Amino acid sequence: MATISLVMIVKNEELILQRCIDSVKNIVDEFVICDTGSTDNTKEIIQAHGKIFEIPFVNYVDTKNEALRKATCDYILLMDADEYVLHGLEKLKAYAEEGVNAVSAKIIEGTDEITVNEYYRNRLWRNNGQWRFEGPGVHEVVCGPGDITYAPEIKVRHDHNYRQNNPEIVWAKSLQYIDLLNMHLVKNPNDPRALFYLARTYKDLGETTKTIDIYHKYLSTNSSFLDERWQAAFDIVLCWKSIGEYDKAFEACDLAINIDERRAEAYNLKGLLYYNMHNWQKAADCFEESLKRPFPNNVLLFINPREYNFVPWDYLSICYDRMKQYHKSKELLGKYMEISKVIDNRIVENLCWTNRKIHQKIFMALGHTPEPVYGGILNEKGVHGVETTYIELSKDLVDLGHTVFLFCSCEEEHKYDGVYYIPYTKINQYISIEPDLVVASRWFNALRMFPKAKKIIWMQDALFRDPDDLSLYGQVDKIICSSKWHSQYIAERLGTMIDYKKVQVIPLGIRKELFAANIGRDPYKVIYSSNPDRGLYILIDMWERLTKAIPEIKLDIYYGWEGLKTWSNTAEWQDSVKNQQSNFLDKIKSFDNISFKGRLTKKQLAKEMLSASLCLYPNNFWETFCLTSIETQAAGVPTITTDKGALATTLNLDCNVLIRLDPYSKEYQDVFIKETVDLLTDTPRRELWSGRCREYVMSGPFDWKDVSEQWNALIMEL
């Protein structure tokens, strides 16, 4: 059976010596604890375990070598008083039984929960007289012949707390180290190890200039110890950083990276420099680069494992928070908390903050509408455009994690697709919820009710008349419109009354899945899908000529006058709509190729569009976006229309016709008829355009999910 001698040199270690002894005594056969002049109870502790060896302190190399000569067992176990074995004691004994030459254990610094530094040190070797300490009198290293077994499973805690709680001891120890190192350097001025640890000691004392100079002298030597050279460059960074010399610190960071590109620490420190200057993107780039580096298990000198996960996760989460990329921030905080052994209140608070940003309380203030709005209405009948957008966006914002209240013309409170539908007349009952964001298009009173909330005006009307309260435009956080033309028209109408930087274009969307079906297309079916007063009357004025040119043509009309009737309950308006309808019906009596389909659900309308060949829309109205134009393109139906308002950006100009003429003029109608006839009779071109239209929408960001992501990004930025 292999025997083990515990060898130590100690002085005045009564507070910590017993802990060290207790951690190893179960495998120790001989205690060779050499006292170098204690004046406290250290000797009494030694005597309880055997003979007291008293030797004079010369330096750490010579004194430890003298202690080694007193050991008589097969193996020597070397410990310092401020160390104790945490894990792997039995494994250490097993290595001795196996007859290994030497064992290097992993020394760790920190607490049970958090390791801040680790490195390897030889702790067990054969007592054959060939192992001796070497070095410049301090920071000694034991050397001997044969292989060394590196054993990460054997962990020895190096506890700095005792000395750190006694600063006078640390100061005296550092001065002792400096004296010993300088004495050595008098005879060996270019000794790399002495220069390295002299610089490191000056660094501990805050002597930055001396530290940098000595480290540079060290780096000019022929030292080939990679870990040591990297540490020198890294410590130079810390010194320059501590005195605000950031340009020099960046240079030193690059030097450290060039020495050992595996190490994450230099990237983290470079990121911290940018972080301190609030350059969040460059800081994030550095921390991301750090995370690409796996922990290098073959580093023998000092390394902090937290630099390979917790440190970059922590700083990155803050960088992404500052850049308002809250989902990324939350992901990193989640990783941190998942593997952390301690509950860090700061991290918890940051996660709570991030969750509040990601999961906001949003009031969609649709307000009064001509027709009721309720959950599921889109599946039952056709719905006006603005109402549709509020319903669709609300649903997808819920899917993104927000809590959404849609205040609308519903009869009672209910929940559908995760959205809370609330009668707009009850909004006062929800003031205590304190929304994070209020969105309104026409109902501006709702914006005034929540002074703490962020506010968005979602412009969906063309703004042909001034709003009732122009001052509100200057008070909101954002003004959202749906197209480039709409944003420019707002600038024209409101001018200096608004901060144009607050205006942002976010398009509207569709549900692409509604257009996924493969339905046979009728080559002569054309459609009109909008309010009649926006172009249907003009189309009918051309219908006789179109029918003569293409007898097979047939027109399906969607929407009709039902929507128009809801705009006002006044007798004057109702009579106007009734007269429009009557005059129109008189005009088409002689045609048997026109069908009224009424207001269809989105699903039904998509099916109808998929079977059509053209959309004829001689528009006389400044569309702010035109959802129909996205729907027709998704269905593969080219549109012939007027180059007016937003249509030039909603429609793909490579597969649709936009006519830049007055839609009431003969010239316009001549061109419109010619383009219609040409497309209906040129099947290859029409099919080519159909494919282009479909590809344009189906491969582009036109789904409500795409639109809601843009809204979500905006919400995160507010």
What CATH number did the domain enclosing 317 receive?
A: 1.25.40.10
pLDDT at 163: 65
Number of structural domains the chain divides into: 4
Instruction: Flag whether 202 is in a domain.
Output: no
Round to whole Å and give the CA distance between 512 and 634: 7
Question: Is the domain of 229 the same as that of 322?
Answer: yes
Q: Is residue 119 over pLDDT 60?
A: yes
CATH number at residue 631: 3.40.50.2000
The rounded percent of the chain whose pLDDT value lies above 70 is 98
Q: What's the pLDDT score for residue 563?
A: 67
pLDDT surpassing 60 at residue 282: yes
For the stretch 632-664, pLDDT in tens is: 999 999 999 999 999 999 999 999 999 999 999
Residue 178 lies in a domain: no
CA-closest candidate to residue 668, choices 679, 659, 655, 658: 659
Distance CA 369, CA 653 (A): 34
User: Could you tell me the residue range of the domain that residue 350 belongs to?
Assistant: 224-358
CB atoms within 10 A of CB 284: 24
Shared-domain flag, residues 669 and 654: yes
**CB under 8 Å to 549, separation ≥6 — which residues?**
673, 677
Q: Quick one: tokens of 421?
A: 């539908």
- In this structure, the answer to whether residues 372 and 344 fall within a common structural domain is no
670 and 594 fall within a common domain: yes
Domain-embedded: residue 366: yes
Q: Which helix (H) or strand (E) holds 34?
A: strand 30-35
Examine residue 197 and state whether it is found in any structural domain, yes or no: no
Note whether 329 and 381 are same-domain residues: no
On whether both 369 and 354 belong to a single domain, the answer is: no
Q: What is the pLDDT of residue 170?
A: 79
Cα 630-631-636 angle, rounded to 5 deg: 95
pLDDT digits (tens, 9 = 90+) for 558-615: 987 766 666 677 888 787 878 888 888 888 888 999 998 888 999 999 999 999 999 9
Residues 352 and 376 in one domain: no
Please check whether residue 173 lies inside any domain of the structure: no
Residue 158 lies in a domain: yes
Cα separation, 557 vs 577, in Å, equals: 17
State which amino acid sits at residue 460.
Q
Among 311, 337, 358, residue at a domain's last position: 358
Residue 345 banded pLDDT, cuts 50, 70, 90? confident
Q: Residues 85, 51: one domain? A: yes
Domain final residue pick, 130, 162, 194:
162
For residue 603, what are its two tokens?
Answer: 């699903």
End-to-end CA distance of the chain: 72
Q: Do 55 and 150 lie in a common domain?
A: yes
Q: How many CB atoms lie within 10 A of CB 234?
A: 22
For 480, the 3-state DSSP assignment is: strand
* 495 and 482 in a common domain: yes
Model confidence at 357, in pLDDT bands (50, 70, 90)?
A: confident
3-state secondary structure 543-597: HHHHHHHCCCCEEEEEECCHHHHCCCCCHHHHHHHHHHHHHHHHHCCCCCCEEEE
Average pLDDT, the chain: 93
pLDDT digits (tens, 9 = 90+) for 407-422: 999 999 999 999 999 9
Quick check: 459 and 483 in contact, CB under 8 A? no
> Same structural domain for residues 237 and 354?
yes
Average pLDDT over residues 490-512: 92
